[in-house]
């Protein structure tokens, strides 16, 4: 005798034991699916597991549009799946809502009428039907659309982040170059003085006095002279007369007053301060009296802003004017070589922009810049004197983020060149050290810049070279519709 390993019933032989599980009428204990509790025959249990609960395959393993398969026998049943299951496998299904005999409630699948005793298993079973339905109705297209949607969302996110970065960078540049409508010289001056009072570095009475002086200066349009240091060029001339160490020759510009940044323009006013230095030299030269008859004193920074706006209204550099929305007054906008050129030309002062647009020496240096400045100062001064105090005006020197004023050039005994620069960043206290008669020359370190010290990618200079007639001024105004410069090299 052989026992059925499913229901435990005794059968006469091993051959009968093999036939016995395939005949539900003989097997008194029908096995149930462990996933959905469906009652199936022993032989059909494996087939049921393979078809109704297959292991998930890779995407696309089933041909799109293929009809749904029977979860019991694996045959394609298509839209007649429910009818097929009832006809071929009805003996495996219990009555809806029926009791199993031991008090367990049966739950029926709404799609194929399969019954089971566990509601969670039924939900999983129904989900399989829904997945099969989506797949057969074009699941591949749904995946493609989902992928496209996700890609679109990712593109939108990246575009939004890029726009945010660009907006933040633009606002940063606006703040950096004073175009953020945060006020101009007056607002910054008052704000910084209030900060000085709060920190105990300025007494209230001094605050009110300086505020009154500032308001008077703004009303008159004349610089108050608080940041000016005069006599430095003369002191340098005396120093070089007695200094014999390593300087072969030196050329100095005509007299120049140094102006440094104040509480009102710190961080953005270097271009205006360098114009004041250049103008201070021109005002000391009678050759320019006719051009400057309406400008006999050094204008304040807000006045210089208004003067540049006047040049724009005359028609100078319309492209540059549009960059500033035709407005400088009341802002902290930086200016550069183009604005200095437009302003000087509008005053009938002949000048030119020279653009040293790329390095001309090793390690990013600009020896051609030094050679050009040497020629500028020495062209009309070929004598053998060691110290040459020329009548040449100083040179406006611009590079990215800052500008300075060239007031002379040294030629060392080894033939190397060294520029002498007035920097608006140097305070009056530092500059006044150069005025001491017993100076040992250490203060010159503030002024000296060797070839290896100037390594910006690009430098521009504005050099004054005479006076314009009214016709020449008008011609330059027309030419400035597209402002150009002489490029070296």
Whether 317 sits among the annotated catalytic residues: the reply is no
Give the CA angle between residues 473, 479, 482 to the nearest 5°: 140
Count Cβ atoms below 10 Å from residue 423 Cβ, excluding itself: 21
Residue with tokens 């699916």: 33
Contacts of 137-142 with CB under 8 Å at 24 or more apart are 138/64, 138/65, 139/64, 140/60, 140/64, 141/64
Whether 291 sits among the annotated catalytic residues: the reply is no
> Which pairing describes strands 459-467 and 10-11: parallel, antiparallel, or unpaired?
unpaired
Sign, CA dihedral 392-287-232-382, equals positive
Strands annotated E in 187-231: 228-229
Whether 423 sits among the annotated catalytic residues: the reply is yes
Go through the chain and tell me how many residues it has. Answer: 489
- Judge whether 390 and 249 are in contact, CB under 8 Å: no
- Judge whether 396 and 405 are in contact, CB under 8 Å: yes
| Cα separation, 164 vs 475, whole angstroms | 45
| Cα separation, 214 vs 37, whole angstroms | 93
| Cα separation, 425 vs 273, whole angstroms | 10
* From 42, 112, 116, 270, active-site residue: 270
| Cα separation, 328 vs 178, whole angstroms | 9
* From 223, 265, 317, 423, active-site residue: 423
Would you name the residues annotated as active-site residues? Answer: 270, 402, 423
């Amino acid at each position: 005798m052989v026992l059925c390993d499913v229901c435990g019933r005794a059968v006469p032989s091993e051959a009968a034991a093999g036939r016995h599980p395939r005949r539900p009428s003989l097997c008194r204990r029908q096995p149930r699916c462990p996933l959905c509790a469906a009652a199936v025959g022993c032989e059909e249990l494996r087939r049921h597991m393979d078809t109704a609960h297959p292991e998930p395959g890779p995407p696309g393993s089933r041909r799109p549009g293929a009809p749904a398969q029977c979860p019991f026998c694996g045959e394609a049943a298509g839209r007649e799946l429910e009818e097929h299951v009832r006809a071929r496998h009805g003996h495996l299904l219990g009555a809806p809502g029926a009791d199993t005999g031991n008090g367990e409630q049966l739950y029926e699948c709404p799609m194929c009428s399969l019954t089971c005793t566990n509601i969670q298993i039924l939900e999983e079973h129904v989900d399989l039907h829904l997945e099969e339905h989506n797949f057969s109705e074009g699941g591949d297209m749904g995946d493609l659309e989902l992928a496209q949607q996700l890609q679109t969302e990712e593109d939108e996110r990246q575009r939004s982040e890029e726009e945010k970065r660009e907006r933040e960078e633009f606002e940063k540049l606006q703040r950096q170059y004073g175009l953020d409508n945060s006020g101009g010289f007056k607002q910054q001056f008052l704000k910084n003085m209030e900060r000085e009072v709060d920190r105990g570095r300025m007494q209230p009475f001094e605050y009110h006095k300086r505020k009154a002086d500032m308001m008077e200066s703004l009303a008159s349009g004349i610089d108050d002279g608080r940041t000016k240091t005069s006599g430095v060029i003369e002191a340098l001339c005396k120093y070089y007369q007695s200094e014999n160490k390593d300087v072969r020759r030196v050329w100095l510009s005509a007299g120049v007053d140094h102006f440094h940044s104040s509480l009102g323009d710190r961080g953005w006013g270097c271009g205006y301060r360098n114009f004041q230095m250049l103008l201070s030299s021109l005002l000391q030269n009678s050759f320019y009296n006719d051009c400057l008859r309406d400008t006999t004193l050094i204008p304040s920074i807000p006045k210089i802003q208004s003067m540049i706006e006047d040049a724009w209204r005359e028609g100078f550099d319309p492209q540059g004017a549009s960059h500033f929305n035709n407005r400088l007054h009341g802002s902290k906008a930086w200016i550069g070589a183009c604005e200095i050129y437009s302003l000087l030309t509008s005053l009938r002062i002949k000048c030119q922009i020279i653009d040293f647009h790329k390095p001309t020496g090793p390690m990013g240096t600009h020896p051609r810049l030094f050679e050009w400045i040497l020629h500028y100062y020495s062209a009309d001064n070929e004598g053998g004197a060691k110290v040459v105090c020329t009548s040449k005006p100083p040179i406006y020197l611009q590079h990215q983020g800052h500008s300075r004023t060239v007031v002379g050039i040294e030629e060392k005994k080894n033939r190397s060149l060294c520029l002498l620069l007035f920097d608006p960043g140097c305070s009056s206290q530092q500059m006044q050290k150069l005025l001491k008669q017993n100076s040992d020359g250490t203060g010159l370190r503030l002024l000296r810049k060797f070839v290896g010290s100037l390594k910006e990618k690009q430098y521009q200079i504005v050099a004054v070279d005479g006076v314009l007639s009214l016709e020449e001024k008008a011609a330059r105004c027309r030419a400035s519709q597209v402002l150009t410069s002489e490029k070296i090299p």
